[in-house]
Every structure is written in C-alpha cells, then in structure tokens.
Amino acid sequence: MTPSLPYLLAILVIVFVIDFTLRALPFKILEPLRDSRFVEYMAVWMPPGIMLILVLSTLSHNAQAAGERWWAALVATGITVAVHLLSGRKLLWSVGIGTVCYIALLNWL
C-alpha cells in the first residue's frame, strides 16, 4: 500500500525541520563564543591534532598489515608531508601523490 500524499509531505516537513535545526544549531551555539580565547585556541590546534591522530592510527594499522614492508607507509607519509608543504598546502595533491607513492612502493619494491 502506497502512503498518501499528505503523509509523505508531513514526513518531508519533519525531516526538513530536524535537518535544518541540526545544521543551524552549532552556529547559534558558537555565535557568542566567537571572541573566546578558548575557541581561538581550539581553531588553531584541533585540526593538526586530529590529523596527527589519524596519521598515527593509519601508520600503526599499515605497519601491522604490511608486515616486512612497513617502511613503505613511512616513506609515503614523508612524501605526503613534503608535497603538502611544497605545494602550498594543497590537500588533494598531497594526499593523491602520497597514496600513489604508497601503492607504487607496495607493488613494485
């Protein structure tokens, strides 16, 4: 049995309200905190901290999975960092070249 049009419209309205509220709420909460030193501090240090956690997690997983070729992950990470810094911090370039380098090291050496 197909749901009626008013039923579908009611569901869409409810989903829209919930979605809009969840997307707008963080901005409303942070609005009075924009001048806070804590928020400034977190804006500077949180992205590199998260990236460090992701890198360490990835390297430890790849070191275990790659076995004797753990060095490939370290070399590819070094190349990724170098490309990121030398290319003006272009994320797509650094991640792409680092990934290609890692795959090439695993397959050809």
Q: Residue ranges of the domains in the chain?
A: 1-34, 47-108
Residue 76 to residue 82: CA distance in whole angstroms: 10
DSSP classification of residue 90: -
Residue 3 to residue 15: CA distance in whole angstroms: 16
| pTM of the shown model | 0.55
Q: Are 57 and 86 in contact (CB under 8 A)?
A: no
Q: Are 79 and 97 in contact (CB under 8 A)?
A: yes
The per-residue pLDDT for range 23-60, each reduced to its tens digit, is 999 888 888 888 889 888 888 899 889 988 988 888 88
DSSP classification of residue 85: H
User: Which token pair is 73?
Assistant: 């992950």
The per-residue pLDDT for range 3-21, each reduced to its tens digit, is 899 999 999 999 999 999 9
